[in-house]
Amino acid sequence: MISLRFVFLFLLISFSTSAQKDYKLWLQYNAVNNSAMASEYKSNLKGIVVLGNSETIKVAKKELKTAFLGMLGNVPEIKSELKEENNLIVGAESSLNPEIKKTVSADFDKINNEGFIIKSVSIQNKKQIIITGKNDVAVLYGVFNFLRILQTNKSVKNLNIADSPKTNIRILNHWDNLDRTVERGYAGFSLWNWQKLPDFIDQRYIDYARANASVGINGTVLTNVNANALILTPQYLEKVEALANVFRPYGIKVYLTARFSAPIEIGNLKTADPKDPEVINWWKNKSAEIYKRIPDFGGFLVKANSEGQPGPQNYGRDHVDGANMLADAVAPFGGVIMWRAFVYSEHDANDRAKQAYAEFQPYDGKFKENVIVQVKNGAIDFQPREPFHPLFGAMPKTPLMMEFQITQEYLGFSTHLVFLPKLFQEVLQSDTFQKGKGSTVAKVVDGTLYQNKLTGIAGVANIGNDLNWTGHPFAQANWYGFGRLAWNPYLDSEIIADEWLRCTFSNDENFIKPIKNMMMESREAVVNYMTPLGLHHIMDTGHHYGPGPWVSNLSRPEWNPTYYHKADKNGIGFDRSKSGTNATSQYASEVEKLFDNLETCPEKDLLWFHHVSWDYKLKNGQTLWNGLALKYQEGVNQVAAMQDVWKKTEKYIDSERFNEVGMLLEIQNKEAKWWRDACLLYFQQFSGKELPAGVEKPTQTLDYFKSLKFPFAPGNG
């Protein structure tokens, strides 16, 4: 009896600690088991002096306590005065006494309002470490960065860091519906429990805010871009207000999606025409009502006249009219309008990839100051690989913000391990050439190319109420990495992977090295087994789960995979060069030439821009057909290699996450083969060629793959 109870208790404890690991994200605060570092930390952190008493400072203090307890086994003495040496001094500029301030005064010139300073200093010949910034939220960022130094086992002896975010709006877009389903969400239901709000504050909200603040995310859009006007009614605004109150100490502003037809739906007006005085007034009053509840409300994100959403064009107006009307409504309160450029029309027979540019570029310079146009990273839709969106750099008088998709709609849902910062970095470092060489997308996004004041990066969240937040333990790295890149779009994704692994799993080099390599390769693997050589949008219809290159019966031509790959007996690929749709002409001439010319077009983008014959010779001498087939095989091999690497990690990490990732990789392996076999069998009908040596034979027929149906695939409403 006793022993059974013991076993049960043991199981309970080990389950809960393992489960907690999954839940704790990159804020594990594991005991520092490198003894040299642990003793360095202990001797340099004898006491903590926290200056100030705001809610944000309280949060910072609490985080320090939690972290020190976990990492060092005890909390250094919390002091109110500085007598001894080896203290950590934490406080905003205004709270520092002149003597302390003197030691960092020059550093304040190096940071902006949200930037922080972490510095080893000497005050009255006693060495101390200071964490400061111009306000309390900046101090909180400094605290989280300091804790990352400890979590990654770096020295704290000679610190001299002054770091500021390079963009203003670093924001998650939740595509969360009011019924708690999440559009393109693969990690359970929405975090926002509308039914229990405003009175019940789930601990999750707080931990969500901590995680975001720890990487510098400072905004969240709570609701789906396919918006429901009800969120703007008092019944819901009260709940939104409760969330805003939770997030405020962490420096996170709340934003909402605005359904353009809300004045009709919840305001009883006959129109939502942005030039109608009653409509204008309605939005002004609605904004005032929101700001009365939430004085630091961020503003609205709008999807208008896109995929059936209402918008100004329903009234013969344009995007500028719509955006500027809303901009006027929130301007008195300091709000912004994030107006999406994700538009394409079923009435426009033109190449879908060209439509957003064609429609928005002529609006350059026409938007109000508090409007920022939100552009997806590529011109189609969050594919495993897309060339950068031609709007970047092409609207010098308009602030543009980046929209990345963190949730893996087209990249294997939350079952495939894909390290997205590698994809994000590839886009950010692309050179638009719009103002000569070096006009990278990152420079457009951080405003330095055209001196824009309003800047931002949005990420469509991959977060739900799954125990581990993101469905896949490694998908946490995509949330983390998004935040890090939003803070600094020039960060190297390998550094991000390194930090994340150390904070999330272990500092053991034998673990870090192979797993970091695995992460770095994972993005190319998914491109290879899904859409190599520039293929795109050949996922199965609607839910986008698995391959569906054969789909050709959808009501809108540009929803059909056949529209994108254009495979026929002559070859494969979408001709977007001069001889085709001329989409290349939307880029600066250097880029246009590069993509337009078959000789110079990077092979990774080949079939995005060109239709080439099955016998076309690739740079390595292979025919296109053989090269394509071998790429699919390579993707499968890469997943198998990831599995081998993962199997060797057992001794470095907890068994729960070890097993979870192992099982998920097994699914990824199966699905990579499914992709390879289905796509190659389908394309083979056109190429009429044998699979080259080295490519495994499919074990099922094309008809079998076509027969697979997934009516309940997640994320599809």
Which residues make up the interface to ligand BDP (CB under 6 A)?
A: 183-184, 225-226, 303, 307, 342, 381-382, 409
Taking the least distance from each CB to ligand BDP, the nearer of 303 and 536 is 303
Taking the least distance from each CB to ligand BDP, the nearer of 381 and 634 is 381
Distance in Å, CB of 180 to ligand BDP, minimum = 16
Taking the least distance from each CB to ligand BDP, the nearer of 44 and 355 is 355
Taking the least distance from each CB to ligand BDP, the nearer of 303 and 443 is 303
Distance in Å, CB of 419 to ligand BDP, minimum = 20
Please, what is the Cα angle at 504 between 426 and 14, to 5 degrees?
145
Distance in Å, CB of 164 to ligand BDP, minimum = 30
- Report the distance separating Cα 7 and Cα 327, nearest Å: 62
CB 311 within 8 A of CB 267: no
- Report the distance separating Cα 226 and Cα 303, nearest Å: 7
Distance in Å, CB of 716 to ligand BDP, minimum = 8
Distance in Å, CB of 226 to ligand BDP, minimum = 5
- Report the distance separating Cα 417 and Cα 192, nearest Å: 26
- Report the distance separating Cα 132 and Cα 216, nearest Å: 15
Distance in Å, CB of 635 to ligand BDP, minimum = 22
Which tokens go with 663? Answer: 């099982």
DSSP string, 144-158: HHHHHHHHTT---TT
Taking the least distance from each CB to ligand BDP, the nearer of 177 and 452 is 177
Instruction: Exactly one of 85, 202, 276, 307 is catalytic; name it.
Output: 307
How far, rounded to the nearest angstrom, does the alpha carbon of residue 271 sit from its chain's CA centroid?
Answer: 36
User: Is 386 assigned a catalytic role?
Assistant: no
> What are the CA-CA distances from residue 260 to residues 167, 229, 312, 601 (Å)?
27, 8, 8, 41
CB 368 within 8 A of CB 421: no
Distance in Å, CB of 341 to ligand BDP, minimum = 11
Long-range CB contacts for residues 312-319, cutoff 8 Å, separation at least 24: 312/260, 312/273, 312/274, 314/260, 314/261, 314/272, 315/271, 315/272, 315/273, 315/274, 315/275, 315/276, 317/273, 317/274, 317/275, 318/363, 319/343, 319/359, 319/360, 319/363
In three-state secondary structure terms, 512 is helix
Taking the least distance from each CB to ligand BDP, the nearer of 307 and 321 is 307
Which residue of the chain is nearest ligand BDP when measured via CB? 381
The secondary structure of 442-511, three-state, reads HHHHCCCCCCCCCCEEEEECCCCCCCCCCCCHHHHHHHHHHHHHHHCCCCCHHHHHHHHHHHHCCCCHHH
Long-range CB contacts for residues 131-134, cutoff 8 Å, separation at least 24: 131/88, 131/89, 131/90, 131/91, 132/89, 132/90, 132/91, 132/92, 132/93, 132/96, 132/104, 133/92, 133/93, 134/92, 134/93, 134/108
Taking the least distance from each CB to ligand BDP, the nearer of 184 and 422 is 184
In three-state secondary structure terms, 95 is helix
Taking the least distance from each CB to ligand BDP, the nearer of 551 and 618 is 551
Taking the least distance from each CB to ligand BDP, the nearer of 145 and 415 is 415
Which tokens go with 571? Answer: 């070859």
CB 420 within 8 A of CB 524: no
Taking the least distance from each CB to ligand BDP, the nearer of 136 and 386 is 386
Peptide bond into 312 cis (omega under 30): no
CB 136 within 8 A of CB 205: no
Distance in Å, CB of 338 to ligand BDP, minimum = 13
Chain length of the chain: 717
Distance in Å, CB of 111 to ligand BDP, minimum = 35
Taking the least distance from each CB to ligand BDP, the nearer of 276 and 307 is 307
Distance in Å, CB of 310 to ligand BDP, minimum = 13
**What is the Rg, in whole angstroms, of the alpha carbon atoms belonging to the chain?**
26
User: Is 381 assigned a catalytic role?
Assistant: yes
- Report the distance separating Cα 290 and Cα 218, nearest Å: 19
Taking the least distance from each CB to ligand BDP, the nearer of 266 and 375 is 375
Q: Could you give phi then psi for residue 360, rounded to 5 degrees?
A: -90, -30
Taking the least distance from each CB to ligand BDP, the nearer of 377 and 633 is 377
Distance in Å, CB of 671 to ligand BDP, minimum = 19
Distance in Å, CB of 304 to ligand BDP, minimum = 11
Distance in Å, CB of 717 to ligand BDP, minimum = 8
Instruction: Exactly one of 22, 107, 351, 409 is catalytic; name it.
Output: 409
Q: What number of CA atoms fall less than 13 Å from residue 671's CA on the CB side?
A: 21
CB 406 within 8 A of CB 511: no
Q: Is 164 left (phi over 0), alpha (psi -120 to 50) or beta?
A: beta
- Report the distance separating Cα 604 and Cα 303, nearest Å: 31
Which tokens go with 379? Answer: 């011109």
Instruction: Exactly one of 22, 63, 114, 381 is catalytic; name it.
Output: 381
Handedness of CA 137, 140, 146, 147 (dihedral sign): negative
User: Is 590 assigned a catalytic role?
Assistant: no
Name residue 434's beta-bridge partners. 436
Supply the residues annotated as catalytic. Answer: 307, 381, 409
